[in-house]
Amino acid sequence: MFALLQDELVITESAIVALAGFTAVIALLFLFITKFKWHVFLALLVPIILFPLLPGVNLSDFIEAFEVGFGSTIQSIAVVIVLGSIIAEVIRHTGGVQRITLSMVSLVGRQRMPLALTFTGFILGIAIFSDVGYVILNPLVHSAAFAAGTNMSVMATGLVVSMQLTHALVPPTPGPLAAVAIVDADIGRVILWGTVVTFFGSMAGWLFARIVGPGIESPPSEEFVSDSLLDGDESEMPSTFWAYAPIMIPLVLIASQSFSSLLLPEDNIVNSVLTYLGWPVIALFIGVLFAYRSVSTDEGREARTGTWVEEALRTSAMIIIVTGLGGALSEILSGTPAVDTIANAVAAAGIPAIFLPFVLGVVGNMITGSTTVGVITAASLTAPLMGDLNLSPEAVVLAGASGSVIVKYVNSSYFWICTTLSRMPLRSALIMYGGGTLVGGIVCMVVVYILWALGLI
């Protein structure tokens, strides 16, 4: 995506100017968000458009790089993000979340509810925003804690961590989907290896809860007990197949297309069919059709053509625009000496290159509180360096995403939603939710490093 203009456009020939601009963009982005509470769109746009005010910047090349980087990034991802958001809306309104939770409870048993909730978060994080998922499941978490005679630290932490991990690492949620577009990664490989990585990270979050949670003050609240999802009317929920189908079928189609392109000749009929069905636009549209199959009431049929789609479009708009700005920033940086300077510095330091996007993801999330911003920041700043650092696009996405969940604390809206609804004291939440996401993110990065060292990504 970025190779088209990289040899033609020269934003500046000065390494000092390039590094100063690079540093200023990052500093201003974080300042605007943390100090002045700007929306991420303006916080990212303003530093970028101030870049050409630096001495020695070629304005015409800068403008062209901005426009091409923005357009080439969103052209392949905008429709996919909207379709994924529609699936999330339908699953949320049709009882799909409840059915998936019941299936996980049946799989491991009610006596292992913390593990069942961890698995539930592992699946739901792929399809819906983490905060929405926790809002829906919160009554069940309280009820399960009362029934098991345990606290919220044990019962909720695995869910909170696993839902955040798959939200950060496995498309088609917006963060990893945006990163895939920015670095031009194979979405099927990101789905496959992201699922593997987040499984280990989720289990680490569950173990952290089992080991640390019993000693942390966090009693469940009786106000939610009567609202347990396990006591709901199952006749109003979709079947297990129809609950999972909108999530799993698109993932299988996309992953199958990636495998077929590697194993089969280009003109093979199976490869041709899967190339079409595994195209993310078609795969996600098929997921939407399966999601709509669960809509049975007149109200639901009306909502799926109006309210739900409009809500999905509102949710998608910010992600699409911010993704485009991230692509523009990468295209601009690729036309400066900053790329070679940073790559040489990493090489001279002897640090494995895979840790660069990881650290950028950590910094982006820790300062802004947003996993999505962390993922996009890591991908945007690493994209121009991939060739010099010998990093694959898939490795960049997964490493940056692993960093983007470290650590969820007081500047994260997800942290406050989980803390408030779980009625957990702030100190306890910092230990369990902050510590859980720290452990989960580190384990994910360890797995990413192993996969990278083995040449699998």
**What is the per-residue pLDDT for 231?**
58
pLDDT classification of 285: cutoffs 50, 70, 90: very high
pLDDT 10s digits, 209-224: 999 999 998 888 877 6
The residue with tokens 């007149």 is: 298
Range with top average pLDDT, 140-154, 193-207, 333-347, 424-438: 193-207
Tokens of 290: 């399966």
User: Which is more confidently placed, 332 or 132?
Assistant: 332
Tokens of 400: 């940056």
pLDDT classification of 1: cutoffs 50, 70, 90: very low
Closest CA to 366 of 319, 405, 318, 414: 405
CA 211 to chain centre: 27
pLDDT for 277 beyond 80: yes
pLDDT for 204 beyond 90: yes
Closest CA to 399 of 357, 369, 428: 357
Q: Are 427 and 153 in contact (CB under 8 A)?
A: no
Averaged pLDDT score across all residues of the chain: 83
The residue with tokens 């789609």 is: 309
Alpha-carbon separation of residue 58 from 7, 425, 449 (angstroms):
15, 53, 38
pLDDT for 262 beyond 80: no
Burial 120-129 (b: 16+ CB within 10 A, else e): bbbbbbbbbb
Average pLDDT over residues 364-384: 81
Number of H helices, E strands in the chain: 24, 0
User: pLDDT over 90 for what percent of the chain?
Assistant: 25
**Rounded distance, CA 223 to CA 143, Å?**
9
**What is the per-residue pLDDT for 334?**
74
Domain layout of the chain by residue ranges: 3-453
**What is the per-residue pLDDT for 3?**
42
**What is the per-residue pLDDT for 224?**
66
pTM reported for the whole predicted model? 0.75
